[in-house]
């Protein structure tokens, strides 16, 4: 179960290494009376990098790593020898991680590709040795540069789940049940609202060994965009999904009203959500006989003109293959299945 191990928000303090100081050494050797300056430069301080890793799916490994410090640069030596560079630190993060400045809450950058490497804290530059300051008028400079100080950053790492399809619905609509029958994921399922408190990911196996990722996002309630319920924690996970699957149970008093509330909450949070592909799925249809389903279909044809909808039942395994076909065609933009393809 992913419930306990899924961490999508971490505060972390990182500090780069400071630069090593330059040397003020004067050359001393047998038979050479006045060797002149030969102090080397200090080494640079270590950087702190963030690296994308496609194998990770949570920030759990950083939950207890509150401080990350890179190594300091070594001091310069005699004979113009440069100090050692400080040890760099690499923090691996899952794809879809957003980095924010803790004080200003400003987004610094995002990691979206495997192997993508960004410097969070730049190591201090090493100071110059006295060899650099020699001149015809000052042949034995007895001073050198100190290294530049380290950079300290307090940052927040936020994970926005990267999935192809996001399940959107009210609490207790049957999202986790649908995820459990479409994929091999085993989310917590119970008969009360907000059973799911963290997003669950599952991989849907499709024909010819192809697959796509589906995310079960915790339930959204009216007022979620203002932070009601656990709105702000959940809504950001929907931003990265290319297709939104709105799940509405058939025993809802008004299916269209519930759908409108969900769309309205997503729009208030981020108007760009309206650009995503959408499909409405009416679940728990094993409760209906053919006559009721035909009546409901006449009403839904009016309500959802232009938006594809389908009937399914997760428990009775009805309409799941058709749903997979429809989602696959939407993801690949080859809409072979006609619009408003209803599985009756």
Domain containing residue 4: CATH number: 2.70.210.12
Per-residue model confidence as pLDDT tens digits over 238-271: 776 778 888 888 888 888 888 888 888 778 877 8
CATH of the domain at 217: 3.40.50.300
CA distance 194 to 213: 22
Question: Residue 342's pLDDT is what?
Answer: 44
- pLDDT(320) > 90: no
- Please tell me the predicted confidence (pLDDT) of residue 189: 62
pLDDT (mean) for 25-33: 88
Residues 154 and 175 in one domain: no
pLDDT for res 1: 34
Is residue 344 predicted with pLDDT exceeding 50?
A: no
**Residue numbers of the domain that contains 7:** 1-159
Domain boundary (159, 176, 191) is at 159
Do 250 and 142 lie in one domain? The reply is no
Residues 6+ apart with CB under 8 A from 144: 21, 22, 23, 24, 39, 76, 127, 128, 129, 130, 133
Rounded CA-CA distance 231/248 in Å is 18
**Residues 321 and 203 occupy one common structural domain:** yes
Contacts of 63 (CB under 8 A, 6+ apart): 7, 10
pLDDT over threshold 90, residue 333: no
For range 283-295, the mean pLDDT: 79
Same domain, 308 and 281: yes
* Same domain for 125 and 274: no
Q: Are residues 151 and 218 in the same domain?
A: no
Q: Which of 105, 133, 159 is the last residue of a domain?
A: 159
Query: Are 39 and 151 in the same domain?
Result: yes
Quick check: is 337 in a domain? no
Same domain, 176 and 155: no
The pLDDT of residue 275 is above 50: yes
Structural domain ending residue among the three candidates 112, 133, 159: 159
| 336 lies in some domain | no
Q: What is the DSSP string of 89-146?
A: EEEEE-TTEEEEETTT--EEEEE-STT-EEEEEPPPPPPPPGGGG--SS-SS----PP
Within-domain flag for 91? yes
pLDDT > 90: what percent of the chain?
33
Question: How many domains would you assign to the chain?
Answer: 2
Q: Let me know whether 201 and 277 are in one domain.
A: yes
Let me know whether 176 and 195 are in one domain.
Answer: yes
Residue 306 confidence (pLDDT) = 76
* Shared domain check, 252 and 215: yes
* Rounded Cα distance, 72 and 43, in Å: 8
pLDDT digits (tens, 9 = 90+) for 32-41: 888 889 999 9
List Cβ neighbours of 146 (8 Å cut-off, separation of 6 or more): 19, 21, 22, 42, 127
Asked, for residue 118, whether it belongs to a domain, the answer is yes
Say if 154 falls within a structural domain: yes
Buried b (16+ CB within 10 A) or exposed e, 62-73: beeeeebbbbbb
Across 97-106, 190-199, 213-222, 323-332, least confident range: 190-199
- Is residue 317 over pLDDT 90? no
223 in the same domain as 118: no
Query: How much is the pTM?
Result: 0.69
For residue 145, count CB atoms less than 10 angstroms from its CB and return exposed for 0-12, middle for 13-18, buried for 19 or more.
buried
């Amino acid at each position: 179960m992913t419930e306990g191990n899924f961490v999508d928000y971490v505060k972390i303090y990182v500090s780069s290494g400071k630069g090593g100081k330059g040397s003020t050494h004067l050359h001393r050797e047998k038979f050479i009376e006045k060797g002149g300056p030969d102090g080397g430069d200090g080494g640079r301080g270590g950087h702190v990098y963030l690296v994308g890793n496609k194998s990770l799916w949570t920030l759990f490994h950083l939950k207890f790593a509150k401080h990350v410090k890179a190594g300091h640069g070594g001091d310069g030596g005699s004979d113009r020898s440069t100090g050692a560079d400080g040890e760099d630190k690499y923090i691996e993060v899952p794809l879809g991680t957003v980095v924010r400045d803790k004080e200003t809450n400003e987004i610094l950058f995002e990691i979206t590709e495997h192997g993508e490497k960004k410097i969070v804290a730049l190591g201090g530059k090493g100071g110059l040795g006295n060899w650099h300051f020699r001149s015809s008028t000052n042949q034995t400079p007895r001073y050198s540069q100190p290294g530049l100080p380290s950079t300290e950053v307090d940052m927040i790492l936020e994970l926005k789940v990267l999935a192809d399809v996001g399940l959107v619905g009210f609490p207790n609509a049957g999202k986790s049940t649908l995820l459990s029958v479409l994929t091999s994921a085993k989310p917590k399922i119970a008969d009360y609202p907000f059973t799911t408190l963290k997003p669950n990911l599952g991989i849907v196996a499709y024909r010819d060994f192809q697959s796509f990722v589906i995310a079960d996002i915790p339930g959204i309630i009216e007022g979620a965009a203002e932070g009601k319920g656990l709105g702000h924690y959940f809504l950001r996970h929907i931003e990265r999904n290319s297709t939104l699957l709105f799940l509405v149970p058939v025993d809802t008093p008004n299916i269209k009203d519930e759908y409108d509330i969900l769309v309205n909450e997503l729009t208030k949070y981020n108007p760009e959500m309206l650009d995503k592909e959408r499909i409405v799925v009416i679940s728990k249809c094993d409760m209906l006989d053919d006559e009721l389903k035909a009546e409901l279909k006449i009403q839904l044809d009016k309500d959802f003109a232009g938006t594809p909808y389908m009937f399914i039942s997760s428990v009775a395994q009805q309409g799941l293959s058709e749903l997979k076909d429809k989602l696959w065609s939407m993801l690949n933009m080859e809409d072979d299945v006609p619009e408003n393809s209803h599985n009756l």
